[in-house]
Structure 1
């Protein structure tokens, strides 16, 4: 039995120019940016260190300054210590001084594509606007796109906390 795309999602293909054009128009990306997000996440997936799960994940993010930053999942014998591809990419981006991000891409070896895990969704929320597109590629280059707010409804973000150096409001 093969996995199928849920009815509420529009399956698109990176090989179909009309699909890519619609995605780019909807999310404010150029065709070149979309292609780099796809190629970067697939290439990053090849660098994954996943000897335990054998589940390779690559992620590429597009920073507001036009730079692409990629990461892959890195597992550990103590399973909870592993780090997902999205968090690796954002960790690199933030420590390299990038602020503001326009899109996130994730690539896996399964179909349909996998979405970021709950921990990664919250991590992405720290650095991205809720309208940021998350592009999820499967092993065939087919993809789904959802805005962060769709993947993480009723989210908790940095704006919910008091500014640094100012005590919180007590009840």
Structure 2
């Protein structure tokens, strides 16, 4: 898990956050072990901004992946940020409820990442599904 957290932390440097100044990175591991990463990108119209998790999953789907194992999310504040509701629903479109979501809480006294984990199902227990559109 530490490698995935490290990749999410690295992605924060690429964030474009002139308004919130809140850098977020995400790293998504596929079933075959590939890792796709993303960062948040803000624009003046916040509704058009992209979240790090969305960017990571878009990169993975664009590359043909549809099976995912783990997601790491990290902010520059090391505050244990979890995916927002919109990102949770996007993840639910492509990931099952057992997807492990690792949230970066910072480092311990030895410099090792402190991580809180959840499943996507715990974070979004009543996800909308395709049948809900009928």
Which runs of no fewer than 5 residues in structure 1 stay unpaired?
Answer: 1-33, 163-167
Residue 112 of structure 1 deviates from its aligned partner by 3.2
How many residue pairs were aligned? 129
- Matched residue, 1:151: 123
Q: Residue 62 in 1 paired to residue 29 in 2?
A: yes
**How far apart in 1 are the matches of 2:21 and 2:31?**
33
Residue 88 of structure 1 deviates from its aligned partner by 0.4
Cα RMSD (Å): 1.5
Taking structure 2 as the reference length, the TM-score comes to: 0.89
**How far apart in 2 are the matches of 1:67 and 1:43?**
16
**How far apart in 1 are the matches of 2:63 and 2:3?**
19
Aligned to 1:113, which of 80, 84, 87?
Answer: 80
Larger Rg: 1
* Per-residue CA distance 1:105-138 (angstroms, 9 max, x = gap): 1001224311110000000101111011100113
Contact 1:74 1:82 in 2 (8 A): yes
Taking structure 1 as the reference length, the TM-score comes to: 0.71
Question: Is the strand fraction higher in 1 or 2?
Answer: 2
Which runs of no fewer than 5 residues in structure 2 stay unpaired?
Answer: 108-112
Q: Residue 47 in 1 paired to residue 14 in 2?
A: yes
Tell me which of the two structures has the higher relative contact order, counting C-alpha pairs closer than 8 angstroms and 6 or more residues apart.
Answer: 2
Residue 51 of structure 1 deviates from its aligned partner by 0.8
